[in-house]
Structure 1
């Protein structure tokens, strides 16, 4: 597959009154054309900071992308782009859907005009052409009565329709990469499923690569090609969807999988809850960042960061349990993954 995005040793810090928060601590990954990469982990693990760093949307200060970090899009170094080059990149080449569409959409502009504005800037259309294309985009994301809806304001849309409008804006210029940052967080379950089906369907039609940022492994089960699990600003496990769901090797991946409700266990089953809190990233732990919450923790886990163990061509994990000399621990996830 052809690589479109290459991230190497990305480090992002925030300078606060209390000290330097090391939000992202040296992560590397790549994205191929037309694939969906899911980035999963609980709040504060660095998922959204990573996605905003890709588009250079972090305010500097207080944020700082550290020297030595590399973000390459289509062979171009994003970290060395001028403001003009970034304006051309955002929306046209890489687009983003944010968590809350109500705070992302402009309440003083009609939805159609907000889509049209992007088309006028990036594709040089006049007002009439851009509005006609905006109506087409609203139809593409399954908004009924699109011509009238295009003349309405965001407050006149439901939550699910606002998220669809955000997707229409993001895809208006046919970008090569779509970053979806928790696109279903504020929506009910049925609308969540519709939004995920829509993203998958549009990806098939347009061939857009997708980075899906979420804390919910249940959301990515049907759409992701590859999954990388983040914790405390680091990638602790990565693999194909099947490798993570059916053969996950990190205790944190097990915890995320166990917290997903399972239909086969009925409504009487107790939902798993991970105890403790993530570490303070002003003073990150010396060893494995998950050690304090891990029920399989060994003395070495608190003393030294585990090396990355390659389990297959696509599957890697950073955990001392994968070391040849470590005691064998059976996964608590029942055979068959998450149902």
Structure 2
């Protein structure tokens, strides 16, 4: 499949009173047409900063996308686009579902008007045409009584309904890329499953490529084609969903997988807990950023950045344990052969 997005050496910093926080540190990745790429990692690892950078939504200042960064969409570099070009891009070619729909939706406007806005701006529709299309979009995302709901305000919707409305707004102009930033946060498990099924169904119907940002590996197992694991502003492992779940190679990926509750776990069993805290990105470590928390840390891990090891066509890991001279370390027993 053809690459629709190609990110090269993305570096994003925030300038604070305490110094420069290096939130994203030289990551490179791509997205193909129609596929789903999951970006996973704990809070503060740079997932949301990365996703917002793709649409140039990082406030500058205090944020800064370094000049060495390249964000190529259909061959055009988003990082050097003018404000006018960005306005045409956002909502039309690339759309985003934000983490908290209640703070993302305008409380003073009806849901129908908020969907209509982008249709009027990007597709040149009249107000009547845009409202009719907005009702169709609400119906598409399985909101009952769409013609009535279109004239209601965000506070009249439940959490799950608001998230569906956000999806309708994001997909109104049939974008080529949909970025979903923690789309199931604060929703109960049943609604989470419904929202993820909805995104998958709409992706199949519209052919949209999806970047799914989440800290929950359990969510991505059935929807993602590829997964990239982020830690301390860097991608430390990347592979297909099968490779990440069945053959994880980085100790941090092991930790994420072991912390997910499993059906076969006994009632008195303890969940795995990762010790320590992420590094301070005001002063990033010289070596591997995970070294201080890693159970298999070696001296070289603290002194030098690990090399990228290619394990297969789609599977790469950034870890000294993959070096030919490193001691043999097996995948934890609980993870072998499981998904």
**TM-score, L = length of structure 2:** 0.99
Q: What 5-or-longer segments of structure 2 have no aligned partner?
A: none
Write the distance in 2 (CA, Å) between the matches of 1:81 and 1:321: 41
The residue that corresponds to 2:311 in the other structure is: 311
* Alignment check: 8 A CA contact 2:258 2:335 kept: no
The residue that corresponds to 1:257 in the other structure is: 257
How much does 1:185 deviate?
A: 1.0
The residue that corresponds to 1:190 in the other structure is: 190
The residue that corresponds to 2:322 in the other structure is: 322
The residue that corresponds to 2:148 in the other structure is: 148
Q: Any idea what SS the aligned residue of 1:257 has? A: helix
Structural mapping, 1:66-81, within 5 Å: 66-81=66-81
Write the distance in 2 (CA, Å) between the matches of 1:142 and 1:193: 14
Write the distance in 1 (CA, Å) between the matches of 2:246 and 2:269: 20
How much does 1:109 deviate?
A: 0.2
1:209 has 2:209 as partner: yes
The residue that corresponds to 1:6 in the other structure is: 6
* CA displacement 1:147-185 (0-9 Å, x = unmatched): 111110000000000000000000000000000000001
Aligned residues: 338
The residue that corresponds to 2:26 in the other structure is: 26
* CA displacement 1:106-135 (0-9 Å, x = unmatched): 000000110011111110010111001000
1:82 has 2:82 as partner: yes
The residue that corresponds to 1:336 in the other structure is: 337
The residue that corresponds to 1:163 in the other structure is: 163
**Range with bigger deviation, 234-243 or 323-332:** 323-332
Write the distance in 1 (CA, Å) between the matches of 2:120 and 2:266: 52
The residue that corresponds to 1:238 in the other structure is: 238
Write the distance in 2 (CA, Å) between the matches of 1:297 and 1:75: 41
The residue that corresponds to 2:176 in the other structure is: 176
Q: RMSD across aligned C-alpha pairs, in angstroms? A: 0.8
* Alignment check: 8 A CA contact 2:111 2:150 kept: yes
1:45 has 2:38 as partner: no
* Alignment check: 8 A CA contact 2:311 2:317 kept: yes
Q: Any idea what SS the aligned residue of 1:203 has? A: helix
Q: What 5-or-longer segments of structure 1 have no aligned partner?
A: none
How much does 1:273 deviate?
A: 1.3
Write the distance in 2 (CA, Å) between the matches of 1:335 and 1:90: 42
1:108 has 2:115 as partner: no
* Alignment check: 8 A CA contact 2:40 2:215 kept: yes
The residue that corresponds to 1:247 in the other structure is: 247
Write the distance in 1 (CA, Å) between the matches of 2:165 and 2:18: 39
Write the distance in 2 (CA, Å) between the matches of 1:307 and 1:191: 41
* CA displacement 1:40-62 (0-9 Å, x = unmatched): 00011000000000000000000
